[in-house]
Structure 1
Amino acid sequence: MKLSFKPVWFDSLGAKSSCVFVKTSDVSILIDPGIAIMQPSFPASEEEKIRWLTKGEREIIKASKRADVIVVSHYHYDHYFPDNMEVYGGKILLAKNPNSYINDSQRKRAEYFYSNLYSYFGGITLENVLAKPETKEYPNPIKELPIASSKDFGEYNKRRKQLLKKGFKWFKNRAKKWNSTPRIPEMVFKDLKVFFADGKEFRFGDTKIEFTRPLFHGIEFSRVGWVFATVIERGDEKLIHSSDLNGPIIEDYAEWIIKENPNVLILDGPMTYMLGYLLNKTNLKRTIDNAVKIVKEIDAEVIIYDHHLPREVHFKEHTKEVWETAEKLNKNLLTAAEFLGKKPKVTECKK
């Protein structure tokens, strides 16, 4: 193969992560080197959770030593290390732009992260290199989602319209903030190069690494923020890492994946452990319908269906249509643990 990959750590291994190592003959790439402990409801003892967290950290750090490029899709702790600067030494960092399409929480985390990075690798303080804000127009992102916008949600249509109106108001306030907040700059040091990758393409020999525009972290106008998805391509081989699309919930994102038709798809699932709280039945159905369509229509050799999903015992029951479709069509749909010849931790342990 011109392109190979290995799941480094995922939720099915017992700690929250979506970290994958990708290698071509040109470059080695580590995507989302971060990890977080499982939530209190996860059916394992605290000692087990800490053991898996520690083991995952060790595996991610070990993988980072073999990487030329590190990708950070957004600033949630299960996707990057905010304090361990040695992980980034000697690397090219391709990261989510911290200056736009970001919520307040992730912006604060980004400020802390780049303060650490620029101090460690350049001996400078972030405050001394912050740039003036850029004034930009931020159009309504719903206009980029024609399929979701035209979908008939039946009795939910009225409620959805209200939520979208409220969400756009929130978005406009975010845009005002982006246009008034000093910008964190990209920087190049002796042992680190930092580039903000949203919507950009990078080439390493015959390997292309392409990043989507900022995508909603879940539903439209999700207050959790934005992420980007990563596409790595060499010759006729292609891998997509979806990051946190939660299913995907949004139909247009599913159509994009189908159009790309990757050989390998790293697809995060819905937060079924939050069903009834952050995930309602309407949006769960959207994620299942979208995932079923993806499984039916892409020609992937393997689909890793994991992050968010295996955080509760009944995750396969809640998404059974996806698994049944894959089995019927003889598609290789697996959790990361199953891909590695193991069982998902959530199905093995009792609290």
Structure 2
Amino acid sequence: MEKMKNVIKKGNIKVHLICFDSLGAKSSSIFVETPDIKLLVDPGAAAMQPTYPLPLEEKERLKLKALQKISQYSEKARIIFISHYHNDHYTLASKIPEGFNYFYKNKIVWLKNPNKFINLTQWKRAREFCEEIYNNLRGEGKLYIRPHKIKVPSLEEELPFATSKDYGDYQERKKELLEKGRKRLSKLKELWENKRWVREFRFKKGRTIFVDGKQFSIGKTKIRFTFPHYHGIEYDRVGWVIGLIVEYDGKKLIYSSDIEGPQIEDYAEEVIRENPDILILDGFPTYLFGKMINRINMERAKNNIIRIVYGVKAHCVIIYDHHILREEKYKERFKEVYEKTGKRLMTVAEYMGEQSMIDKITKENVTKYST
């Protein structure tokens, strides 16, 4: 295991920062300890995208290094939580490298519900994931059941702050995009209500539990999960994620999963209202600016993170990593954020007393700094 420099401790909550984008691979995996639980969160890692300024073989090496760390922590964990089905947040059993621990053996596996508030790609991945565990670990009973009807709240009910926002000259275009989003959601609802569902199941010394919006108490530890949040903006094509809140003896951890900034005002309000002592928040994907993300939504993310920094308690440790550390211009694009927040926002590498990988490297000196 790494030295304690990768651990955030508040009261009896310890958060081990396993692997994040600032260390060179796409990931945001943590290990949470209280006197009652040992919880591995989002056990996945992926190689950086083609535009990231490292050779392919080095990206693969860093990905394997991240998975090796996750494998080591999986030995200690009794519970695993998967917030959504992107490759940098979970690992198929069949994709665990040879010689590594089988992450899911003898574990309680808390999962994002694979049957609703999920896009088509993740719908398929979730089924593949559950089928592998079911088959490899001798799942009990039937894996599939008949689908259920689903109530989908209106966007106005779900996101009152975001939907009441005045976008000025962009307002009409925003209405057009929201209408297209509603139509996509309607089609997904047809999928959810008409295709067979995966059910929770027990397997040898373990089980799966779908945890969207649920809460548990284990000893004195309270664990809560958010209802599905968009992976980015309203009606985002990328799908939904669920966040995690852990409380023990007056101290609180929030793990946001992938809300990208956040771009949605209601998610910022949620964080401020919770007022955590430790906040693991994913950043805005600046590397997609001008391609898949526009300036309006980048400005929303900037405003929201500034509000969060000033809205939570002053001693809150804020890790702002994942997504934002994938290109060299992130500090330039978020210049006003870093100027206004000072040292309140840290990457995992910075918390550990190191430089973030993207800050170490350039296309001219890859060899010098990539080890």
TM range (shorter): over 0.9
Do structure 1's residue 21 and structure 2's residue 31 form an aligned pair? yes
Conserved 8 A contact 2:231-2:239: yes
Do structure 1's residue 221 and structure 2's residue 230 form an aligned pair? no
Q: Which amino acid aligns with 1:111?
A: R
Q: Which amino acid aligns with 2:59?
A: K
Point out where structure 1 has 5 or more consecutive residues left out of the alignment. Answer: none
Conserved 8 A contact 2:155-2:163: no
Output one character per residue of 1:87-125: Cα deviation in whole Å (capped at 9) or x when no partner. Answer: 011211111000000011001101110110000111679
Conserved 8 A contact 1:295-1:322: no
> Distance between the aligned counterparts of 2:308 and 2:81, measured in 1?
24
Q: Which amino acid aligns with 1:97?
A: N
Match of 1:339 among 348, 351, 360: 351
Deviation at 1:137, TM superposition (A): 2.4
> Distance between the aligned counterparts of 1:307 and 1:268, measured in 2?
5
Match of 1:89 among 105, 127, 133: 105
- 1:302 is aligned to 317
Q: What SS does structure 2 have at the residue aligned with 1:34?
A: coil
Query: Identity over aligned residues, as a percent?
Result: 44
Do structure 1's residue 80 and structure 2's residue 110 form an aligned pair? no
> Distance between the aligned counterparts of 1:21 and 1:167, measured in 2?
35
Do structure 1's residue 53 and structure 2's residue 67 form an aligned pair? no
Do structure 1's residue 168 and structure 2's residue 173 form an aligned pair? no
Conserved 8 A contact 2:213-2:225: yes
- 1:255 is aligned to 269
Do structure 1's residue 134 and structure 2's residue 144 form an aligned pair? no
Conserved 8 A contact 1:69-1:93: yes
Deviation at 1:341, TM superposition (A): 1.5
> Distance between the aligned counterparts of 1:253 and 1:108, measured in 2?
27
Output one character per residue of 1:44-83: Cα deviation in whole Å (capped at 9) or x when no partner. Answer: 1122211211111100111111112111000001000112
Structure-to-structure mapping, 1:58-69, within 5 angstroms: 58-69=68-79
TM-score, normalization: structure 2? Answer: 0.91
- 1:115 is aligned to 131
> Distance between the aligned counterparts of 1:175 and 1:166, measured in 2?
14
> Distance between the aligned counterparts of 1:133 and 1:338, measured in 2?
46
After superposition, the CA RMSD in angstroms is 1.4
Conserved 8 A contact 2:215-2:223: yes
Tell me: CA distance 1:123–1:213, structure 2 relative to 1, closer, same or farther (3 Å).
closer
Deviation at 1:323, TM superposition (A): 1.8
Structure-to-structure mapping, 1:177-188, within 5 angstroms: 177-188=191-202
Q: What SS does structure 1 have at the residue aligned with 2:103?
A: helix
Q: What SS does structure 2 have at the residue aligned with 1:5?
A: strand
Q: Which amino acid aligns with 2:353?
A: G
> Distance between the aligned counterparts of 2:132 and 2:333, measured in 1?
41
Q: How many pairs were matched up?
A: 346
Point out where structure 2 has 5 or more consecutive residues left out of the alignment. Answer: 1-10, 364-371
Q: What SS does structure 1 have at the residue aligned with 2:59?
A: helix
Output one character per residue of 1:215-247: Cα deviation in whole Å (capped at 9) or x when no partner. Answer: 101000001000001101111110111101000
Q: Which amino acid aligns with 1:37?
A: A
Conserved 8 A contact 1:32-1:70: yes
TM superposition outliers: structure 1 runs of 4+ over 4 Å? none
Conserved 8 A contact 2:134-2:143: no
Q: Which amino acid aligns with 2:134?
A: Y
Comparing 2-11 with 83-92, greater Cα deviation is found at 83-92
Do structure 1's residue 323 and structure 2's residue 338 form an aligned pair? yes
Q: Which amino acid aligns with 1:349?
A: I
Output one character per residue of 1:184-219: Cα deviation in whole Å (capped at 9) or x when no partner. Answer: 000112222100000000121111110000010100
Conserved 8 A contact 2:26-2:322: yes
TM-score, normalization: structure 1? Answer: 0.96
Deviation at 1:144, TM superposition (A): 1.1
- 2:326 is aligned to 311
> Distance between the aligned counterparts of 2:260 and 2:325, measured in 1?
12
Conserved 8 A contact 1:132-1:183: yes
